[in-house]
Amino acid sequence: MKKITIYCLLLFGTFLVPNIVLAQNEPNDVVTIDDGFEDFFYEAIKQKSIENYDKAIEALEKGKAIEPENPIVYFELGKNYLAQKKYKEAYDNFEKAAKMDPKNRWAWVGMYDVCYDTRDYNQAIIIVEKLIEFKEDYKEDLTSLYMNTQQFDKALELINELNAKYGKSDKRELYKADILKDAKYQSAEKFNLLDQIKKFPKEESNYISLIYMYSQSNQEEKALEIAQKLEKEIPTSDWAQVSLFKFYLNNNDGDNATKAMNIVFPSKKIDSKIKHRMLNEFLIFTKNNPKYETDLDKAISYFDNDKEVKVAKEIGKFYFSKSNWEKAVKYLNMHLKNAEEDIETQLLLLQAYTENLQFADLAKKTDDLKELFPTQPQFYYYGGLANNQLKSFKKAATILETGLDFVIDDDALEINFNIQLGEAYTGLGDIHKKDKYFSKADELIKKQKK
């Protein structure tokens, strides 16, 4: 929390030192009263300037004995005690000065300094509320104090007031984001944003904030409604394209939906959740309108650096779940171009090749994977299966026997290895080994049923 503090070195223009010089109408009438106060006061200023606070306090106490109702004595005592971190004494003297001269803000500033240093933020709020009467800038301090005392409702109200009056600041926006993590404050903020949109319909940031809040709370229909209002008021807004995209899809207008999508996806203003939702909607649209598949491929490229969602992979899995093996192969391969180490996706791709009867591709792919991952048994299994289908039985048997050594505690995989080995030796005409591996597979199947 940054605190506004303004110090004044000599305060004669503020706290007056009475009885030193009495000004009359005529110069001949000037009378100097030397009661010793002036000497003590300036001695205190001198000692404080060299950080000899004890001697400064001693001189001020002597001056106070002469002029006990002079507020500047108490103010200076407060400053010296504060420098020594004697907070109670400092606060008492600042308070005494403020009571004597309540219209002078510097004593109030002194009390605020004490409260801030001692982290007495609740008392600091009382002092700052008084300081605001002198200078409205202290409302920034009040915002921070509300945050420190967890009075988030008051902080949010004040942040919105200051935003409306002076414009947004980074610090206030950080405070606001922190407050709005708690759902109980979001309702009030939504009403505030709706009110701001009504008052300032051309201010895009209010629409964006409200759309973001609705999206974060999974209120997508309300987010869309606000985006439509934005489109109406500011047709050139990137955010307006979000609602236009939905409108075009609903009207089966793929060309304009694509144009809107290609404006939204590269935009840094649009939240990634909304982009992902749009891509999912376009994926479903493309499934029924395959001529837009090229546009889907382009859209995926916008998400290449997305750390949250691997878009090409998710689309590949979508087609895999729909048994659309050709499309699954395409998008899984797209993902794997920059993610060779993703074994889960590699296995999905191998199964998609198998289902799509792409055995030559399957054999080549497994040869590459065995080089990269020499102890992964699944890659040997798919390699053996592919070569069996290609009638390369000798190669199949070699691959499968090598891979079988890496199978540990996986009966299902071991069964499949033995079946494929039985197929390989059937092709090679080795009846003995064929029976051996088929028998082993039967034993494991019976074991699983027990």
| Cα–Cα dist 399/405, whole Å | 11
Check if 1-134 and 358-450 are the same fold. yes
How many helices and strands (H and E) does the chain possess?
24, 2
Q: Which fold has domain 358-450?
A: 1.25.40
Q: Is the pLDDT of residue 269 over 70?
A: yes
| Cα–Cα dist 333/288, whole Å | 22
Q: Which fold has domain 1-134?
A: 1.25.40
Q: Is the pLDDT of residue 346 over 60?
A: yes
Q: What is the pLDDT of residue 355?
A: 96
Cβ-based burial of 41 (10 A; exposed 0-12, middle 13-18, buried ≥19): buried
What secondary structure letter does DSSP report for 2?
-
Q: Where are the domains of the chain?
A: 1-134, 149-230, 358-450
Those residues whose C-beta lies under 8 Å from the C-beta of residue 417, and which sit 6 or more positions away, are 377, 380, 381, 384, 400, 403, 404, 407
Is the CB of residue 109 less than 8 Å from the CB of residue 131? yes
What predicted TM-score, i.e. pTM, was given to this entire model?
A: 0.54
| Each residue's pLDDT tens digit, 182-240 | 778 888 888 888 988 998 899 888 888 888 788 777 787 888 888 888 888 988 888 88
Q: What is the pLDDT of residue 305?
A: 74
CA 203 from chain centre, in angstroms, equals 23
Averaged pLDDT score across all residues of the chain: 86
| Each residue's pLDDT tens digit, 111-143 | 999 999 999 999 999 999 999 999 999 999 999
Q: Is the pLDDT of residue 428 over 80?
A: yes
| Each residue's pLDDT tens digit, 371-412 | 999 999 999 999 999 999 999 999 999 999 999 999 998 999
Q: What is the pLDDT of residue 36?
A: 80
Q: Which of 37-46, 288-297, 307-316, 409-418 has the lowest mean pLDDT?
A: 307-316
Take residue 378 and report the two structure tokens written for it.
């699944």
Indicate the pLDDT class of residue 19, thresholds 50, 70 and 90.
very low
Q: What is the pLDDT of residue 430?
A: 93
| Concatenated DSSP letters of 118-166 | TT-HHHHHHHHHHHHHH-TTHHHHHHHHHHHTT-HHHHHHHHHHHHHHH
> Which phi and psi angles does 32 have, rounded to 5°?
-95, 125
Top-confidence residue, 394 or 22? 394
Neighbouring CB atoms inside 10 A of 181's CB total: 9
| Cα–Cα dist 367/350, whole Å | 12
Q: Is 384 helix (H, G, I), strand (E, B) or coil?
A: helix
| Cα–Cα dist 269/266, whole Å | 9
Q: What is the pLDDT of residue 247?
A: 81
What secondary structure letter does DSSP report for 73?
H
Question: What's the chain's length in residues?
Answer: 450
| Cα–Cα dist 229/236, whole Å | 13
Q: Is 167 left (phi over 0), alpha (psi -120 to 50) or beta?
A: left
Q: What is the pLDDT of residue 30?
A: 32
